[in-house]
Amino acid sequence: MALDGVLKKIDETLPASVDRLMDLLRIPSISTDPAFKGDCDRAADWLVAELTALGFEAAKRPTPGHPMVVARKKGPGKHLLFYGHYDVQPVDPLSLWDRDPFDPELQDGPKGKLIRGRGAADDKGQLMTFIEACRAWKEVNGELPGNLTIFFEGEEESGSPSLIPFMKENAEELTADMALICDTGLFESKTPAIVTMLRGLLGEELTIRASNKDLHSGMYGGAAINPIRVLAKIIAGLHDETGRITVPGFYDGVPELPDEVRAQWQALAFDHAAFLGDVGLSVPAGEQDRTPLEMIWSRPTCEVNGIWGGYTGDGFKTVLPSEAHAKISFRLVGTQDPHKLRESFRAYVRSQLPADCEVEFHGHGASPAGQMAIDDPAFEKARKALGEEWGVPAAYVGCGGSIPIAGYFKTILGMDAMLIGFGKDNDQVHSPNEKYDLESYHKGIRSWARILAALD
């Protein structure tokens, strides 16, 4: 192993690496639209060809939806599985793009060059950082690094309907000592980070019904129960005056943040005023005894994502509606049980219903939180390697969002995942004019080379 030579090769061959990424970005692999099914197949074929040429035993594996790509290279040392996804989000509204989303371009940005195109940051540019690190490694050392499995999905942006069945059916093949996931970013666009906490997600949609039809509010107002008023009272009662959530048993399984992690987060000097100021806000609205970083990384939430009922069109209609609706999501942490919480929430709602009202529920997903065992020495080795590449100490961070694949690796395959990515806050993922900084791509490749060397 000659790490210095690998890093030098990465620098020398960066233009060719960018060209290969551009080729992949030109394939419109939009997984949610059936019109692009052939393009998703084509992206999988492209990856199989690249991995095979590098010396992996690679294959496109069919599913009821879009194919998986699985590649293997056996060798000594810790067995690592690298995960990414080759599918991308739809591009609508197309009118807001400055150029064809699938005609990628290397552009001059305000702080250096950037790669513009759909999938540049999410997730084609990220997964290619690992492939290109493996390529440079082989060119210098004559063989691929260590003991590797590559696992690329084609349905991440459309809910991953084939993922769990595929993982269960191929559990023996996919199980490794640790998973590596490249679908995250730098902290505040400058500090390398390893995500060690992921919040889970529970979604609930409810409809409260009262009268058997909409009523005239002059004739029935005051005498007839209004389901919107009932729903509003239930929603208002979900939080107390300090921001704590009132659903019985909600905090079962919510851990306190370890002191060493809290100290590391404080050292990040997170500017919550700027974070909120960017979206026109100023005051943290969560649990008042928690810091803003704790609120978004390590504390559970209950949020109303939509509420409607009655007449909402132009003008005015004095209707007393028969139904009221809401969508409510919960972000979960620690060992909170999403299924237990679902029943607790539903029981809470039913307990608040007055006479003449009934409720109907529709669940939307129930994934637990993920917390990685950072006492595994591999985490500290990777953190040190990242710091050496980026010139600042890497941080263990939380993630306010949910990345279900990390949880599935734990619950289905019994292995922890190390989430390392190089995206920046302004990459505009899922939005028009998505981009990936050339620095992120270049240093991302170098970072994986360093990590592979450290974990060898």
Separation of CA 365 from chain center: 15
Is-contact 74 176, C-beta < 8 A? no
Torsions phi, psi of 235, nearest 5? Answer: -65, -45
pLDDT at 48: 98
pLDDT above 90 for 374: no
Q: pLDDT digits over 198-219, tens only?
A: 898 999 999 999 999 999 999 9
What own/partner pairs with CB < 8 Å and gap ≥ 24 does 228-234 have?
Answer: 228/309, 228/310, 228/321, 228/324, 230/324, 230/352, 230/353, 230/354, 230/357, 231/206, 231/307, 231/309, 231/324, 231/325, 231/326, 233/352, 234/208, 234/349, 234/352
Query: What are the angstrom distances between the C-alpha of 364 and each of 62, 205, 327, 399, 403?
Result: 27, 7, 9, 21, 16
What CATH number labels 200-254+300-367?
A: 3.30.70.360
pLDDT above 90 for 365: no
Write out the two tokens for 238.
């979900």
Domain coordinates in residue numbering, the chain: 3-198+370-455, 200-254+300-367
Q: pLDDT digits over 309-354, tens only?
A: 999 999 999 999 999 999 999 999 999 999 999 999 999 999 999 9
Alpha-carbon gap, residue 33 to 42, rounded angstroms: 15
pLDDT at 256: 93
pLDDT at 302: 98
**367 band by pLDDT with thresholds 50, 70 and 90:** confident
Write out the two tokens for 170.
């191929």
Q: pLDDT digits over 108-142, tens only?
A: 999 999 999 999 999 999 999 999 999 999 999 99
H-run or E-run covering 70 = strand 68-73
Residues constituting the chain: 456
**401 band by pLDDT with thresholds 50, 70 and 90:** confident
pLDDT at 397: 93
Q: pLDDT digits over 270-295, tens only?
A: 999 999 998 999 999 999 999 999 99
3-198+370-455 adopts what CATH topology?
Answer: Aminopeptidase (3.40.630)
Alpha-carbon gap, residue 311 to 314, rounded angstroms: 9
Alpha-carbon gap, residue 242 to 254, rounded angstroms: 17
pLDDT at 1: 57
3-state DSSP: the chain helix, strand, coil percent, rounded to 5? Answer: 35, 25, 40
**444: which residues sit within 8 A by CB, 6+ positions away?**
125, 126, 129, 182, 421, 422
Rg value, the chain, Cα: 24
Q: Which residues of 406-433 are buried (b: 16+ CB within 10 A; e: fewer)?
A: bbbbbebbebbbbbbbbbbeebbbeeee
One-letter amino acid of 439: E
pLDDT at 90: 97
Can you give the pTM of this predicted structure? 0.85
> Which residues are registered as beta bridge partners of 181?
83, 419
Q: Give the pLDDT mean for 421-449.
A: 97
